[in-house]
Amino acid sequence: MSSHGHGVRRGRREYPYALFLLPGALAFLAVIVVPFLMNTGISLTHWQGVGSPKWAGLANYRELLDDSAFWESFRHSLAMVVAMAVLPTALGLVLAAALFDYIAKHIGTRTASVLRACFYLPQVLPIAVAGIVWSWILAPENGALNEALGAVGLGSLRQDWLGDPDFALYSVMAVMVWVQLGFPLVVFMAGLQRADPSLHEAAELDGASWWRRFWHVTLPQIRPEIYVVLLWCTIAALKVFGAVYVLTKGGPGGATNVPSYFSFQSFFEKTQVGYGSAVSTALTVIILALALAALRLQTRAEDQ
Amino acid sequence: MVLPFLVVALNAVKSPADYSANGPLSLPEGIHLDGLRDFWQRVDFGRKLFNSALISGSVAVLAALLSVLNAYAIGIGRVRGRPWVLAFFVLANMLPQEALVYPVYYLSKQVGLYDTRLSVIIVFTVIQSAFGTYLLSSVLGAFPKEVIEAARIDGATKWQVLWRVVVPVSRPTIGVLLVFFFIWTWNEFLLPLVMLISNDNQTVSVALGVLQGQRLMDATMTNAAALLGVLPAFCFFLIFQRTLTRGIAMGAVK
């Protein structure tokens, strides 16, 4: 390619394409690579954020392994994966199929796209705003949910949804399903548009029930989308911070703490910077391992 | 899905007396805008809107520019080691910000950028361009080679080909990137929370998140805050609905 260019541009020296990567590379070095390496370095020290860090080797990581608060925050991460990846994907599939081959066909494509937009709306909302909306709805006194329960005669179910350690995690999970559902829905509906409708019609003529068609025709056609959505949402779930900060601050008593909030607390509240760095490094390793595995699977699938 | 927004809008226009007498579920007795006005003045909301718009707008433009340059080298220039370069950008995009936040906080203090909007603009320009590079590289990878070769034969340099051929043709994808970068940056929370501590520099998200954390507001003011926070997002949504759905589908399939 470049020899072709030389032939044309006779005599004049041409800069290589790699030069276009230079601004990006320098910016990435300063903002991503250097801070990331620093963070890893700091995780091997004891440091309060002032003065000079004291070398600690793997002490922070050893402490991490014995820290029940860390393991608990990690278990909550799995709950977030359920709330932000598994449930939205499952619900998104059923809703997308229902909107696509029921509402759009029998009621109208306009209705279907308005409904899709409604489901997607929480996704464009700053999580801080979603947090304000929901912590008011879920408030123990005068909260809209408790008032609504009272109004329909279910007053005995009133709870301190975010303040009771038995309910807080489930409440946060429910909010996250609400936040997240629109993303898989939009992706799956786009996927269904790409799929071949004749298969579906043939199955319908053969008398297959809606569920059988969903399971054997719809799902296999949008498998790539399901896969991508699960990966993206799982990574988002492992990184979740804003929602926990605004809804519960990890409380009550650590009942909703997650690793990202745990590291934030170590950095800025407890000034255990070395320990916080160890937490965030551990989280990074898990996320990157997951992402690498997914990239591998994807390239293998593309090669086939 | 939209029910919470409706309930919030109803309660944002109630007077505190109306709220305490009739609870959150009744219709407001009249339109009462004092809560909205009080909240607006208390947090200097106009200023927060300006900060959010300035930061998000700058990031959208700069990150799109950086993405175009990177993707030109990867997608059309087919630089050596391209899969590795691409993998690097993808991984940079997936990195949790917690693994960057303390060094970024520390380094920005060292160079005098702490608590400036510029610091946040720089960091998010890089983070967003990781996704932009990934998406745009695969779009440009499929760019018709004949078009580029024709321009080169006519004597255009690589720089001219980029601006006169590649960018105009890729305008739809670049538009999607601009919209996404703008909204994502608008919604960001952790890094702005750490980096923008003074009232004058805070964004809408940070101002609302911090107030919520302190729980200083009564119920009507909370609703006023929520409504004012929802409105800009709702406007973007109405304006960019098509771009958003197109973009998500594109991002997922690539």
- The mean predicted confidence, pLDDT, of chain B is 89
Closest CA to B58 of B117, B143, B140: B117
> In this complex, do B252 and A27 lie within 8 Å of one another by their Cβ atoms?
no
- B216 pLDDT band (50/70/90 cuts)? low
Structure tokens at A274: 């070395």
A5-19, A63-77, B115-129: least confidently modelled range: A5-19
pLDDT of residue A140: 84
Name the pLDDT band for A109 (thresholds 50, 70, 90). Answer: confident
| pLDDT for the residue numbered A13 | 62
Distance between CA B182 and CA B201 in Å, rounded? 18
For the segment B46-81, what is each residue's pLDDT rounded down to a tens digit? Answer: 999 999 999 999 999 999 999 999 999 999 999 998
- Which pLDDT belongs to residue A175? 96
Closest approach of A249 to chain B, Cα-based (Å): 8
Mutate to test the interface with A, among B3, B18, B138, B212 (most CBs of A within 10 A): B212
> Residue A239 and residue B205: Cβ atoms within 8 Å?
no
pLDDT the model gives residue B128: 95
Residue A205 Cα, gap to closest chain B Cα (Å): 30
pLDDT of residue B126 exceeding 80: yes
Residue A216 to residue B201: CA distance in whole angstroms: 54
Band of pLDDT at residue B211, cut at 50, 70 and 90: confident
| C-alpha–C-alpha distance, residues B91 and A292, integer Å | 8
Q: What's the confidence (pLDDT) of residue A8?
A: 47
CB pair distance less than 8 Å for A116 and B225 = no
Residues B181, B189: Cα–Cα separation, whole Å: 14
**Cα B237 to Cα A121: distance, rounded to the nearest angstrom:** 7
Find, in chain B, the residue whose alpha carbon is nearest to that of A222.
Answer: B253
> Under an 8 A CB cutoff, do B99 and A280 touch?
yes
Q: What is the 3-state secondary structure (H, E, C) of chain A?
A: CHHHHHHHCCCCCCCCHHHHHHHHHHHHHHHHHHHHHHHHHHCCEECCCCCCCEECCCHHHHHHHHCHHHHHHHHHHHHHHHHHHHHHHHHHHHHHHHHHHHHHHHCCHHHHHHHHHHHHHHHHCCHHHHHHHHHHHCCCCCCHHHHHHHHCCCHHHCCCCCCCCCCHHHHHHHHHHHHHCHHHHHHHHHHHHHCCHHHHHHHHHCCCCHHHHHHHHHHHHCHHHHHHHHHHHHHHHHHCCHHHHHHCCCCCCCCCCCHHHHHHHHHHCCCCHHHHHHHHHHHHHHHHHHHHHHHHHHHHHHHC
The rounded distance, in Å, linking the Cα atoms of A295 and A265 is 32
Which chain B residues have a beta carbon less than 8 Å from that of A267?
Answer: 101-102, 105
Residue type, A91: L
Per residue in A199-251, pLDDT (tens digit) is 878 888 888 888 888 888 888 888 888 988 998 899 999 999 999 999 998 88
Distance CA A232, CA A188 (A): 14
Distances (CA, A) of B199 to A142, B42, B115, B141, B149: 30, 11, 10, 45, 53
**From the DSSP assignment, how many helices (H) and strands (E) are in chain B?**
14, 0
Note which residues in 280-299 of chain A have CB less than 8 A from chain B.
280-281, 283-284, 287-288, 291-292, 295
Angle at B136 between CA B135 and CA B142, to 5 degrees: 105
Q: What's the CA gap between A36 and B99, in Å, rounded?
A: 6
Q: What is the pLDDT of residue A2?
A: 44
Interface of B with A in 48-107 (CB under 8 A): 66, 69-70, 72-74, 76-80, 85, 87-88, 90-92, 94-107
What Cα–Cα distance (Å) separates residue A138 from each residue in A77, A132, A193, B205? 22, 10, 38, 20
Q: Quote the pLDDT of residue A147.
A: 85
Under the banding of pLDDT at 50, 70 and 90, the label for residue A158 is confident
Q: What is the pLDDT of residue A85?
A: 96
Per this entry, what is the length of chain B?
254
Q: How close does chain B come to A127, measured CA to CA in Å?
A: 7
CA distance A130 to B123: 24
**Minimal Cα distance from B233: which residue of A?**
A125
Question: In the structure, what pLDDT confidence band is assigned to residue A6 with cuts at 50, 70 and 90?
Answer: very low
pLDDT score, position A5: 45
In this predicted model, what pLDDT tens digit does every residue of B145-199 receive, in sequence order?
A: 899 999 999 999 999 999 999 999 999 889 989 999 999 999 999 999 999 999 8
The reported pLDDT for the residue numbered B213 is 66
Sign of CA dihedral B187, B204, B7, B239: negative
Q: Does A23 touch chain B (CB under 8 A)?
A: yes
Cβ(A241)–Cβ(A258) under 8 Å? yes
Which chain A residue's Cα is nearest to B189? Answer: A242
Looking at every residue in chain A, the average pLDDT score rounds to 88
Is residue A165 pLDDT above 80, yes or no?
yes
Contact of B55 with B203, CB cutoff 8 Å: yes
Residues of A in contact with B123 (CB under 8 A): 31
Does residue A11 have a pLDDT over 60?
A: no
**The length of chain A, given as a count of residues:** 304
Q: Do A1 and B190 touch (CB under 8 A)?
A: no
Indicate the DSSP class of residue B75: I
Using the Cβ of A60 and the Cβ atoms of chain B, whether some distance falls under 8 Å is answered with no
CA distance B249 to B254: 9
Binned at pLDDT 50, 70 and 90, residue A181 comes out as: very high
CB of B100 closer than 8 Å to CB of A29: no
pLDDT at A4: 47
A 10 A CB-CB count for B235 gives 11
* CB atoms A28 and B205 under 8 Å: no
Is residue A74 a contact partner of residue A260, using CB atoms and an 8 Å limit?
no
Domain boundaries A82-256, corresponding CATH code: 1.10.3720.10
Q: What pLDDT, on a 0 to 100 scale, did the predictor assign at position A7?
A: 45
In this predicted structure, which of A123-127, A241-245, B1-5, B197-201 has the lowest mean pLDDT?
Answer: B1-5
The answer to whether residues A142 and B23 touch, using CB atoms and an 8 Å cutoff, is yes
C-alpha to C-alpha distances, B222 to A68, A202, B32, nearest whole angstrom: 35, 54, 14
CB-CB under 8 Å, B183 with A268: no
Q: How far is B68 from chain A (nearest CA, A)?
A: 9
Per-residue pLDDT, A50: 87
Chain B contacts of A121, Cβ < 8 Å? 1-2, 5, 234, 237
8 A C-beta contact, residue A101 and residue A283: no
**B125: closest chain A residue by CA:** A27
Whether pLDDT at A54 is above 70: yes
- pLDDT for the residue A191: 86
Judge whether residue B7 has pLDDT over 90. Answer: no
pLDDT of residue A75: 93
What separation in angstroms does the CA of B163 have from each of B72, B118, B145, B166, B171?
A: 10, 27, 16, 6, 11
Residues of chain A contacting residue B135, judged by C-beta atoms under 8 Å apart: none
Which residue in A31, A70, A238, A284 has the most chain B C-beta atoms within 10 A of its own C-beta, making it the best mutation to test that interface? A31
Give the pLDDT confidence of B12-48 residue by residue, as tens digits.
888 887 887 777 777 887 788 888 888 898 889 999 9
Q: What value, to the nearest 5°, has the Cα angle with vertex B253 and ends B252 and B254?
A: 95
**How much is the average pLDDT of A176-202?**
87
Tokens of A29: 């070095």
Domain residue ranges in chain A: 82-256
Q: Do A287 and B133 touch (CB under 8 A)?
A: no
